Amino acid sequence: MHPPQQHKFGFKAWIPTIGLAFAAFVFNTSEFLPVGLLPNIAESIHESVSKTGLIITVYAWVVSLLSLPLTILTAKLERRRLLLWLIVIFALSHFVVLWADTFEKLMGARICVAVTHSIFWSIMTPLAARVAPFGKQAFGLAAVMGGSIVATVLGVPIGTHLGQQVGWQGSFFIVGMAAVLLWVIIF
């Protein structure tokens, strides 16, 4: 017989939820970041803006087509460990962008990010409910979804501004560094 499980309260109980909300912020900022930097990216890789825009379109297709199959393939894996591996691949894919001097290299890096994204959202909601403090599962889920909203409202404009200050590759590098910080928080 197991002793009753102790429930955590206070700020410490919210740290995993805050980590997941930050994860939602980082993943969604990354997803939409190319939108604000598309002309800069196109100029840098010597392609038209319309062709470079395919990095956004293909990203969306990869996420939509692979979400269900990859969710099924990873169903038996422990979620926290899976999330940590997704963040590692996500971060590395952002660091690879530093050497993306062609459309093909950039597309490859963005496809890797899209693969992580497709699994990320399939495991995020159950994880958010599971790690939220006792009796606060709905609020925990709302906090994680709030991270996604804040990414759209603040993350993308901030990322675009950073991209114009430090170069578009620098903004992707910063997202990669945010993912490293995120890994530390969740670990």
pLDDT tens digits, 17-62: 999 999 999 999 999 999 999 999 999 999 999 999 999 999 999 9
Ramachandran angles phi, psi of 60, nearest 5°: -60, -40
The pLDDT confidence band at residue 3, using thresholds 50, 70 and 90, is: very low
Question: Number of folded domains in the chain?
Answer: 1
Q: Quote the pLDDT of residue 8.
A: 62
Residue 136 in any domain: the answer is yes
Residue 110 lies in a domain: yes
Domain residues for the domain of 21 are 17-186
5 falls within a domain: no
Question: Tokens 């995020």 belong to which residue?
Answer: 124
Would you say residue 1 lies in a domain? Answer: no
Confidence (pTM): 0.90
**Dihedral angle of Cα 22, 71, 118, 51, to the nearest 10 degrees:** 170
Q: Is the pLDDT of residue 1 over 70?
A: no
- On whether residue 9 sits in a domain, the answer given is no
Does residue 12 form part of some domain?
Answer: no
The verdict on residue 101 lying in a domain is yes
Q: Locate tokens 């603040």: which residue?
A: 154
Residue 164 lies in a domain: yes
| CATH number for 157 | 1.20.1250.20
